Amino acid sequence: MGASSLTRYSRQTILQEIGENGQRALGRSRVVIVGCGALGTVVANNLTRAGVGRIVVIDRDFVELSNLQRQILFDEGDVGAPKAIAAVEKLRRINSEIEIEAVFDDFNFGNAERITDGADLVLDGTDNLHTRFLVNDLCVRDGVPWIYTGAVGTAGMTMNILPGTTPCLRCFVPEPPEPGSLPTCETLGVLNTIPAIVASMESTEALKILLGKHEWIEGKSVLTTYDAWSGEFDRLALERDASCPCCARRSFPFLTEENEGAAVALCGRNAVQIAPASKTNISFPVLAERLGNAGDVTWNEFMLTLKAEGREISIFKDGRAIVKGTDDPHVATSLYARYVGI
Ligand SMILES: [Zn+2]
């Protein structure tokens, strides 16, 4: 370690949990942060300052004014910029002694393997379950640890997933929920402290895993949940499912094209069609109530339309949707994930 590194990391190298050897180990580590929103910015900030040697940040979204309430790496000057690029510019100003790479793209079956190649750990900063199922399939198949984390409303959760050892995501969520069935930050809102809290828990677990100092019991893991408003903290022990399609039967459907929801620009219409991989049967009354706070909602027996952020999303019973006001499939997929939720 050079002199400047000794100074930069002095407060954590004197911690007996890390020490100078631990600091060197962090410097040799490579992590991938999937998603750079409320969770991802906090994790990236923590791990950059802690001196993790190589960090990759991938995100498909642009910074919006409504992100500034909680996405700590962005300021007003970043509105309109790609999140991954704006975040990495800031991270490089924080720590120029490590390698940080921005990937401005959707994380999908086509690029996931290349992006996570050589990673010691994958960190969940996503806003949707579909991407988490993809991360789970990839990490279980390739034996790469990952940390599942989520936050919405006033509550959040986190769990370490060590392939071959602990349960995986599909041990306790066997199938992805139907589109529109779960609340999102756009429909329920999010208290700005909760993603920061659970992402800091995630960052702590990341440091422990990279240092080989995490605790684990064969076949078990702990799902930590916290509600920042009620103050309720819970640690739920989960066991591996012996018939888990992913970690027991080693079937990885999310790594194939059929399970990637297709987003196609509709030529000349400034609109994109989204076709989720699995057909569903959306309840419009339920979805209308959930979306009520997010924008103007109208619906009939065939279609529900939401107007928000200057765009119009028309959702059909089977989960298919048309997003008007953009011809960029990434933007449309992002809006669908945030409002309808997949
Ligand atoms: Zn499993």
pLDDT band, very low/low/confident/very high, at 163 (cuts 50, 70, 90): very high
Q: How far is the CA of 126 from the centre of ligand 1 (A)?
A: 20
3-state secondary structure of 225: strand
Instruction: Mark whether 9 and 157 lie in a shared domain.
Output: yes
Q: Report, as an integer, the average pLDDT of 123-149.
A: 95
Q: How far is the CA of 342 from the centre of ligand 1 (A)?
A: 20
pLDDT at 188: 86
Instruction: Mark whether 248 and 278 lie in a shared domain.
Output: no
Q: How far is the CA of 167 from the centre of ligand 1 (A)?
A: 5
Tell me which residue range forms the domain holding 293.
261-339
Instruction: Mark whether 231 and 266 lie in a shared domain.
Output: no
DSSP state of 127: S
Q: How far is the CA of 254 from the centre of ligand 1 (A)?
A: 14
Query: Could you tell me the CATH number of the domain that includes residue 185?
Result: 3.40.50.720
pLDDT band, very low/low/confident/very high, at 32 (cuts 50, 70, 90): very high
Q: How far is the CA of 125 from the centre of ligand 1 (A)?
A: 20
Instruction: Mark whether 106 and 61 lie in a shared domain.
Output: yes
Q: How far is the CA of 160 from the centre of ligand 1 (A)?
A: 12
Q: Report, as an integer, the average pLDDT of 113-138.
A: 94
pTM (two decimals): 0.85
Instruction: Mark whether 32 and 101 lie in a shared domain.
Output: yes
pLDDT at 261: 67
Q: How far is the CA of 140 from the centre of ligand 1 (A)?
A: 8
Residues that place a CB less than 5 A from ion ligand 1: 168, 170-171, 244, 246-247
* 296-299 and 311-316 beta bridge pairing: unpaired
Q: What is the pLDDT of residues 211-250, one digit of tens each?
A: 999 987 888 899 999 999 999 999 999 999 999 999 999 9
Distance between CA atoms of residues 88 and 295, nearest Å: 32
Q: Where among 255, 288, 303 does a domain terminate?
A: 255
Instruction: Mark whether 240 and 281 lie in a shared domain.
Output: no
Q: What is the pLDDT of residues 290-319, one digit of tens each?
A: 888 888 999 888 789 999 888 899 888 888
- Tell which wins on pLDDT, 182 or 18: 18
Q: How far is the CA of 177 from the centre of ligand 1 (A)?
A: 16
Instruction: Mark whether 104 and 10 lie in a shared domain.
Output: yes
Q: How far is the CA of 97 from the centre of ligand 1 (A)?
A: 38
Instruction: Mark whether 117 and 166 lie in a shared domain.
Output: yes
**Residue 23 is encoded by which pair of tokens?**
């600091």
Q: Are 53 and 141 in contact (CB under 8 A)?
A: no
pLDDT at 267: 67
Q: How far is the CA of 119 from the centre of ligand 1 (A)?
A: 21
Q: How far is the CA of 87 from the centre of ligand 1 (A)?
A: 33
Q: How far is the CA of 137 from the centre of ligand 1 (A)?
A: 9
pLDDT band, very low/low/confident/very high, at 259 (cuts 50, 70, 90): low
Number of domains in the chain: 2
| Max avg pLDDT among 4-13, 142-151, 331-340 | 142-151
Instruction: Mark whether 74 and 54 lie in a shared domain.
Output: yes
CA distances from 75 to 4, 53, 81, 194, 222 (A): 28, 25, 11, 19, 35
Percent of the chain whose predicted confidence (pLDDT) is above 70: 96
Q: Are 126 and 152 in contact (CB under 8 A)?
A: no
Query: Could you tell me the CATH number of the domain that includes residue 279?
Result: 3.30.310.10
pLDDT band, very low/low/confident/very high, at 342 (cuts 50, 70, 90): low
Instruction: Mark whether 206 and 330 lie in a shared domain.
Output: no
Q: Report, as an integer, the average pLDDT of 247-265.
A: 83
Q: How far is the CA of 190 from the centre of ligand 1 (A)?
A: 29
Instruction: Mark whether 170 and 219 lie in a shared domain.
Output: yes
CB proximity list for 198: less than 8 A, separation 6 or greater: 39, 149, 150, 151, 156, 157, 158, 226
